[in-house]
Structure 1
Amino acid sequence: MAAALLVSVAGPTWADGREAVLKQVDLPHSYYWRELYLPQLTTGPSSAAFMPDGQSLVYSMAGSLWRQRIGDDEAVELTRADDAYDYQPDVARDGRSVVFTRYDGNAMELWRLDLANGRAQALTRGGAVNVEPRLSPDGKRIAWVSTQGTGHFNLFVADLGPDGLRNARPLLGERKSNIDRYYYSAFDHAINPAWSPDGKTLVFVGNAEVAWGSGDLWSVPVDAPSQAKKLLSEETSWSARPDIAPDGKRVLYASYRGRQTHQLWLTTMAGAAPLPVTFGDGERRNARWSPDARRIAYIGNDGADGNTTLMVMDVVGGATRVVEAKRRRTLAPTARLVLDVADGQGRRVPARVSVTGSDGRAYAPSSAWMHADDGFDRAKLRSEAHYFHCAPPCTIDVPAGAADVTVQHGFAHALWQKRIDAVAGRDTAVRAQLQAQALPPEFGDWISADLHVHMNYGGHYRNTPQRLAAQAQAEDLDVVEQLIVNKEERIPDIAQFGRQDDTTPVRIEHAQEYHTSFWGHLGLLNLRSHYLTPDFTAYRHTALASPYPHNGVIADLADAQQGLVGYVHPFDTVPDPAKDPVLSHQLPADVAHGKVDYLEVVGFSDHKATASVWYRLLNLGFRVSAGAGTDAMANYASLRGPVGMNRVFLDVSGQGDGRRDHASMLSALKAGHGFASNGPLLGLLLDGRKPGDTVAAGTHRFRLALRSPVAVDHVELVHNGQVVKRFELAGDRRTLDAEGDIALGDGWLLLRAWNDGADPLLLDLYPYATTNPVWLGKTGEVPGSQEDAKYFAAWIGRVIEAATARDDYNDAGEKSATLDYLRQAREVYARMAEPR
């Protein structure tokens, strides 16, 4: 989840070169709207529209448009564009053309396909994000959603003729809300348009004065937009996509409405109380009526593999059939790659794989979950990286010609890359033999753990503990802390809490993330009794608006269950008590009260900014361990990830098998026995002692090692926040062994590795790794650390200021308890700041 420091809500600052996908969209929290609203590349179907006969469908799958007759098993490819992907078809009522959305790595534009001659015509060219094209019943007008001119999702309409669009205009215009929002823009959006059968009215989703959701169902006369009116108060997490029945009365849409997954619901143009028409555990979305209103086509994900599936359901009776493309008639000749993957000892292993075809597009097995990176360097890549997890052997159909294959299995193996000549009509065997590059064994007996993963979070796919374990195994990850948490009103994985899943060889632990947009988010590991509710704190404009309970209260409740408490995805920038407009992050207060076990130094935040705050805490002798968590939404197609991208390596020497013994792992985490990384492996010994240990100040013999799947710019020893020794890397800059003597005073010493900018082979802001500190002296407190204490005292002063200004506590006792807690923490730092 996004960092709760209120001065930064849009996500981490990008490293040099790396930029967000669709950076022209001016909205916070891109990892939500991009997955939950915009079309994504999936191997399965993603959206569909009926042909006029009601017997065939045009749908998007694997980045192309396809036509298939219901009941047949052959799909005919209609579009395929180099370096681009096609989505969201809408068929004209006369059946002659299809409008759709095309993504080329830079923008999403509207196109029109002539079904008779196969020619495609660009309808928009402005470089904006244009999605959800819907043709009026007479085919003379088109409605869609565009960010053109504002960066916000607004409803547009235009006249449509043979030459393209005319008189294109926003229908409703910009409107800034009178209430503050956190996950959504301050400007209202208007999305999900659908035409009435007479072509006079559009139904859409808008969020006027909605604080915590993508909005309500509205209707608007196209020729009288000032007469827009709300039909139904609703919340659907971007996925309503209403469709008006041919009778002009009923409205079909998707909603979770008190459930954990989206189902299909019916209301009326008068806003009647909705009733569900589907039921189940999977997601059902992107629904469309057939022309005769006897059938509904929709996209589901409740099949055995959790991938997207195109379904057609009879309105009366509910009989449902899968529209499956068992045979595919493609526009261009294809070849088949059969990929096998083996580790350094020749054993077959699962892995993460990227395959780019001769047309510049990404490919995967038809049953695999395709994932996409959340950013990329446009100087080095045409579009964001796509990948899938392969349990070999894997079969991938690609266009004939040169195909590029990249294989990775965790951090302790070198990446494997090769260009393959894929010959049309033939199978080509590809064997990826991975080269091991593990740390020498004297540095530790390692297990790796991602402390921050969400199994299901409203994404395109439906995940299970078994599939999550398969994802982790492909990433050579031993333990996943699956943090159950809310998304708006629902908690998608709440049923998993307290369950034990046998996912050998990967351990899946169902833990909790505690949400608040005010104090900062907490990771709560090892809860043994119950899930902490309500899991919402400081949600403005709701009945749970009170900032109480603050995080210290939640930490105590977790501790009562023998839980570990960590702060997750902390800082995108270094907090500045003197300049930040608002500062409410509670980390230093909870550290002062002894309630924080670990900090995600490597996570969904800026690693260097977070480390600079961590160093100040270490200088004051607070033994807060370095944690790491990807914050991966593991059922997303546009995945912040992959799972295990940010992980801790924990040394469980002498503690048993931490892979199966959770207590050993947690003990090593809390004691600081290990390192956090998004790629480089680090080993550090000081007189033979490891991170988390304590040695006397003086002259010491150090030994260190680096092994990395990507090139590293900087390797440094850091003493009390200052670099005391730098090491030069040669060759491919992926391996280093060094030793020597170093004189050190009281405090701490750690080893870190980092790069100035992004690396396209590593799907994070930039490569970064840090060991935990080896402590020096009796207390580990750094002489002259009064300035650090003053910094945190000032920080908490600003938190007190923000907490005092809140007027939405439930009673005076909540406010008093909160402020007393903060003042006591400030006093701890004030005492530390006194001259000694």
Structure 2
Amino acid sequence: MRRRLVIALTLLACAGTAQAARESVLKQVDLPHNYYWRELYIPQLTTGPDFASFTPDGDTLVYSMGGSLWRQRIDGDTAIELTHAPRAYDNQPEVARDGRSVVFTRHDGNGIELWRIDLATGREHALTSGGAVNVEPRLSPDGRQLAWVSTQGTGHFNLFIADIDANGLHHARPLLGERKTALDRYYYSAYDHAINPSWSPDGKALYYVSNPEIAWGTGDLWSVPVADPGKRSKLLSEETSWNAHPELNPDGRRLLYTSYHGRQWQQLWLTTSTGAAPLPLTFGEFDRRNARWSPDGKRIVYVDNQAGNTTLRVVTTLGGATTTVTPTHRQYKAPYARLVLDIVDEHGERTPARVAVLGNDGRAYAPDDAWMHADDGFDRSLQSAETHYFHCAPPCALDVPAGAVKLWVQHGFAYAPWRKTVNASAGHDTPVRAALVPQPLPAAFGHWISADLHIHMNYGGHYRNTPAHLAQQARAEDLDLAYDLVVNKEERIPDIASFRTDADPASLPRSLVLHGQEYHTSFWGHLGLLNLGDHYITPDFSAYRHTAMASPYPHNGVIADLAHAQGGLVGYVHPFDTLPDPAHDAVLSNELPADVINGKVDYIEVIGFSDHKATAQVWYRLLNLGFHLPTGSGTDAMANYASLRGPVGLNRVFLDTAGKRDAASAMAALKAGHGFASNGPLLGLLLDNAKPGDSVAPGKHHYRVALRSPVAVEHLELVHNGNVVKAFALGGDHHAFDAEGEIELDGGWLLLRAWNEGGDPQVLDIYPYATTNPVWLGDHVRAPSAPGDAAWFADWLTRTIEAASARDDYNTAEEKRATLDYLNQAREAYRAMTGHPTSTEPSRGTR
């Protein structure tokens, strides 16, 4: 898992090939793994509610929804829009104790600032500036101080406090300051954070979450006297997940917070101001979060995802009577129109698809019940904010501001993108029909089904996904096979109840849902385990420092054997963000070379949540050594996220199954290398009559290539043994190309690849890239560079052995011995390929 960025909705009508500089959405935040903290902590644009705050009478709520703030009585059905900023989204309202104003967050595509609105006049003004990320504003009971979390000055999430009056904030300052841990944290910054603040009823203390000397999770529940921050104290140890939001009841005794506490889903829990043993207040196989007490302490407002999307509810603390706050009627601040979108394929049949809609206010829109998704980055020279989109099962109706509306419809890779700007008239329905045009590869190159081999159905996000909904997501993306890899999210495994060894019965005829496993060890590299025929492999992770599962054993070779014993396929997933450098990398512990030479690996995600070009360079070296290692492809999409690295099917492998659509045929084609991987371009390659995965004799051959792409392609190349032997000059719009000719080839392998130098705003990935599997030139023929490649992998394994030897947390001496023996045997096998098997010093082969 790693990086990314997005499409310019401001250029929805263009299909240009400009070099895009994709950056993360909130690049000023200096924390690793932004796809986690952004989804789990940062407020998101959702069509349903996200955060809510009671007014002083306790009968009305101010809440965020669709990028605006809304006011609604709990017993009413009409929501009144309070804010609507062009090209910005508002969230996290905090109603003042006198009910006259609301402090909130506003994300304008750069930073997130704090704003305040006067409810009587509607006047808005900014409380912070400077482009930091400012979130979670909380007013003191007397209204004279504001606490919040900011990255100002450090890039880390720190607790801030300031005085506040009619003129704004004064004497803003960090309350606790920076502290660096002595632990090695993988998912979290080396610097402690302080998040989720709330005030004690007397205004003297703040409750919050922090992680001093905590390796996993966002930390424990703490309190701190505002007047003496040096006397902070821990209340309760928990493995929280960004949104515990501890808050004392107005009586000062019961502390409400959100936790999964040994379960798979987050619910509401109660402890005390002194951290007594917690007990659950609510139950269910879905998430409840963002909870707040009513002013009298008798009710709690929260957001849940029981129905899939987010829903606002109010529950009585005594009795549990629950009211759903539904905005049946909406009063907008500006004139609105109704857009009705229909989508049809080449046969005139209605077809689900991915849709992006941009109003004339520069904001994204979706139907009220749609899951709004956001890409995880964008090119700031092309757009003011990241792309938002939803999946439409037509017809789809949505409210949009009256005026020009830009639409983008995409249905997989084999259809051309559809774009149009329409004028929506206030108070009227505007029908729009999107007719999709296919652009398939010629049938001579194969009969394809497409598969995303790496999806996480649920992973702690805003929504609650199901196999039936995942199948609908796949269908909208024209994806034939969606492989849900069940995996841990720290302590929990959210989709463990869905794991099964056969196809999910919720599958659709054109979109099959399967369940596999991702094995987590960030020391050795992550594995995808497909087609497991008997059971889920536990434990699901190893080498988790500072836990009972800290031992690096079992290493990946052991797990591969366990998977193969069930008839499974084993792949290395999201392998490399940069090309490994055995000579200079500070640590190199990835086990891939050892597992490949020992026959443990069935595929590698050349195109996945990593850098495709860097991964391909490693792949080429393995191919040069004669290893018939096919490429797979997987998005690593957290499919229940509002802000996701996706959508599902973004990275996929096209498998030539001769028209068969069952899982067994797909897995056979994957293992045989019959196909290509892509994030957009479709590729066809024939060498004489041989397709990728086949073998031909070295010599003179007739080649035929084809390209069909929804985006413009800059480079189309034949690659022989890692070197470009034919670069094709693409004409026209660079979307389609056909060529054939003669080529003389000695042994090794040949493949076809398409790629761009930089990002394209139409591909929600770092850059367009596609590659076929190789056609093999002879049986087990190594490339001329094989000795140097073998030396490079031997050097790599020398560094891996160093890293494995340095670990002091094996459970037994036998675990360490078995691990080092396995790695040493693999290194000696590579050294044998160099022609210098007795070498004692690692060679420094370069290429």
Same fold (TM over 0.5): yes
Comparing 230-239 with 577-586, greater Cα deviation is found at 230-239
List 4+ stretches of structure 1 deviating above 6 A: 10-15
State the alpha-carbon separation in 2 of the partners of residues 66 and 633 from structure 1: 29
Q: State which of 51, 56, 60 in structure 2 corresponds to 1:52.
A: 56
In the alignment, is residue 141 of structure 1 matched against residue 145 of structure 2? yes
Q: What corresponds to 1:501 in structure 2?
A: 505
Q: CA deviation at 1:16?
A: 5.0
State the alpha-carbon separation in 2 of the partners of residues 287 and 464 from structure 1: 24
Alignment of 1:409-448 (within 5 A): 409-448=411-450
Q: State which of 408, 413, 417 in structure 2 corresponds to 1:406.
A: 408
State the number of aligned residues.
823
In the alignment, is residue 708 of structure 1 matched against residue 733 of structure 2? no
State the alpha-carbon separation in 2 of the partners of residues 784 and 88 from structure 1: 58
State the alpha-carbon separation in 2 of the partners of residues 796 and 235 from structure 1: 35
Q: What corresponds to 1:300 in structure 2?
A: 304
In the alignment, is residue 524 of structure 1 matched against residue 529 of structure 2? yes
DSSP 3-state at the match of 1:524: strand
DSSP 3-state at the match of 2:148: strand
Which amino acid counterpart does residue 476 of structure 1 have in structure 2? D
Q: What corresponds to 2:204 in structure 1?
A: 200
In the alignment, is residue 627 of structure 1 matched against residue 628 of structure 2? no
DSSP 3-state at the match of 1:83: coil
Which amino acid counterpart does residue 552 of structure 1 have in structure 2? G
State the alpha-carbon separation in 2 of the partners of residues 136 and 383 from structure 1: 33
State the alpha-carbon separation in 2 of the partners of residues 449 and 150 from structure 1: 42
Contact persistence 2:80–2:331 (CA under 8 A) = yes
State the alpha-carbon separation in 2 of the partners of residues 165 and 38 from structure 1: 22
Cα separation, partners in 2 of 1:11 and 1:590, compared to 1, 3 Å: farther
DSSP 3-state at the match of 2:520: strand
State the alpha-carbon separation in 1 of the partners of residues 176 and 391 from structure 2: 43
State the alpha-carbon separation in 2 of the partners of residues 251 and 638 from structure 1: 30
Alignment of 1:38-187 (within 5 A): 38-187=42-191
Contact persistence 1:11–1:28 (CA under 8 A) = no
Q: State which of 606, 609, 617 in structure 2 corresponds to 1:612.
A: 617
Which amino acid counterpart does residue 814 of structure 1 have in structure 2? E
Alignment of 1:4-19 (within 5 A): 17-19=21-23
Contact persistence 1:177–1:188 (CA under 8 A) = yes
State the alpha-carbon separation in 2 of the partners of residues 835 and 271 from structure 1: 64
Alignment of 1:381-396 (within 5 A): 381-396=383-398
Q: CA deviation at 1:835?
A: 6.5
State the alpha-carbon separation in 2 of the partners of residues 291 and 375 from structure 1: 39
Q: CA deviation at 1:728?
A: 1.2
State the alpha-carbon separation in 2 of the partners of residues 384 and 544 from structure 1: 38
Q: State which of 639, 643, 647 in structure 2 corresponds to 1:642.
A: 647
Q: CA deviation at 1:347?
A: 1.5
Q: CA deviation at 1:297?
A: 0.2
Q: RMSD of the TM alignment (CA)?
A: 1.2
State the alpha-carbon separation in 1 of the partners of residues 481 and 544 from structure 2: 32
Q: What corresponds to 2:592 in structure 1?
A: 587
State the alpha-carbon separation in 1 of the partners of residues 781 and 66 from structure 2: 55
Alignment of 1:711-790 (within 5 A): 711-790=712-791
Q: What corresponds to 1:821 in structure 2?
A: 822
Q: What corresponds to 1:372 in structure 2?
A: 374
State the alpha-carbon separation in 2 of the partners of residues 464 and 13 from structure 1: 26
Contact persistence 1:414–1:437 (CA under 8 A) = yes
Which amino acid counterpart does residue 409 of structure 2 have in structure 1? V
Q: State which of 347, 350, 355 in structure 2 corresponds to 1:348.
A: 350
Contact persistence 2:20–2:760 (CA under 8 A) = no
Q: What corresponds to 1:219 in structure 2?
A: 223
Q: CA deviation at 1:441?
A: 0.5
Q: What corresponds to 1:7 in structure 2?
A: none
State the alpha-carbon separation in 1 of the partners of residues 166 and 53 from structure 2: 22
DSSP 3-state at the match of 1:148: coil
Contact persistence 2:638–2:644 (CA under 8 A) = yes
Q: State which of 227, 237, 241 in structure 2 corresponds to 1:237.
A: 241
DSSP 3-state at the match of 1:156: strand
Contact persistence 2:6–2:379 (CA under 8 A) = no
Which amino acid counterpart does residue 232 of structure 1 have in structure 2? L
DSSP 3-state at the match of 1:354: strand
Q: State which of 209, 213, 216 in structure 2 corresponds to 1:209.
A: 213
State the alpha-carbon separation in 2 of the partners of residues 616 and 73 from structure 1: 63
State the alpha-carbon separation in 1 of the partners of residues 420 and 195 from structure 2: 43
Contact persistence 1:13–1:606 (CA under 8 A) = no
Q: CA deviation at 1:348?
A: 1.0
**Which blocks of at least 5 consecutive residues in structure 2 are unaligned?**
8-18, 838-847
DSSP 3-state at the match of 1:536: coil
State the alpha-carbon separation in 1 of the partners of residues 778 and 116 from structure 2: 71
Residues 308-334 of structure 1: per-residue CA shift (max 9 Å, x gap): 000100111001111000100010000
State the alpha-carbon separation in 2 of the partners of residues 126 and 11 from structure 1: 24
Q: What corresponds to 1:561 in structure 2?
A: 566
TM-score of the pair, normalised by structure 2? 0.96
Q: What corresponds to 1:552 in structure 2?
A: 557
Q: CA deviation at 1:71?
A: 1.4
Q: State which of 270, 277, 301 in structure 1 corresponds to 2:274.
A: 270
Contact persistence 2:163–2:170 (CA under 8 A) = yes
DSSP 3-state at the match of 2:794: helix
Q: CA deviation at 1:11?
A: 7.5
State the alpha-carbon separation in 1 of the partners of residues 657 and 89 from structure 2: 46
State the alpha-carbon separation in 2 of the partners of residues 390 and 792 from structure 1: 47
Contact persistence 1:343–1:349 (CA under 8 A) = yes
Which amino acid counterpart does residue 113 of structure 1 have in structure 2? I
Which amino acid counterpart does residue 498 of structure 1 have in structure 2? R
State the alpha-carbon separation in 2 of the partners of residues 753 and 761 from structure 1: 16
DSSP 3-state at the match of 1:668: helix
DSSP 3-state at the match of 1:516: coil
Cα separation, partners in 2 of 1:187 and 1:209, compared to 1, 3 Å: same
State the alpha-carbon separation in 1 of the partners of residues 479 and 670 from structure 2: 16
State the alpha-carbon separation in 2 of the partners of residues 762 and 41 from structure 1: 21
Which amino acid counterpart does residue 457 of structure 2 have in structure 1? M
Contact persistence 1:12–1:604 (CA under 8 A) = no
DSSP 3-state at the match of 1:363: coil
DSSP 3-state at the match of 2:469: helix
DSSP 3-state at the match of 1:758: coil
Which amino acid counterpart does residue 333 of structure 1 have in structure 2? P
In the alignment, is residue 248 of structure 1 matched against residue 283 of structure 2? no
Q: CA deviation at 1:385?
A: 0.3
Contact persistence 1:452–1:632 (CA under 8 A) = yes
Residues 33-66 of structure 1: per-residue CA shift (max 9 Å, x gap): 0000000100000000000000000000000000
**Which blocks of at least 5 consecutive residues in structure 1 are unaligned?**
3-9
Q: CA deviation at 1:175?
A: 0.2
DSSP 3-state at the match of 1:829: helix
Q: What corresponds to 1:322 in structure 2?
A: 324
Q: CA deviation at 1:501?
A: 2.0
Identical columns (%): 70
Contact persistence 1:13–1:573 (CA under 8 A) = no
DSSP 3-state at the match of 2:667: helix
Q: CA deviation at 1:778?
A: 2.0
Which amino acid counterpart does residue 432 of structure 2 have in structure 1? V
Q: CA deviation at 1:639?
A: 1.0
Contact persistence 1:253–1:264 (CA under 8 A) = yes
Contact persistence 1:414–1:435 (CA under 8 A) = yes
Which amino acid counterpart does residue 493 of structure 2 have in structure 1? I
Q: What corresponds to 1:538 in structure 2?
A: 543
Q: What corresponds to 1:5 in structure 2?
A: none
Q: What corresponds to 1:6 in structure 2?
A: none
Residues 127-157 of structure 1: per-residue CA shift (max 9 Å, x gap): 0000000000111000000000000000000
State the alpha-carbon separation in 2 of the partners of residues 211 and 563 from structure 1: 32
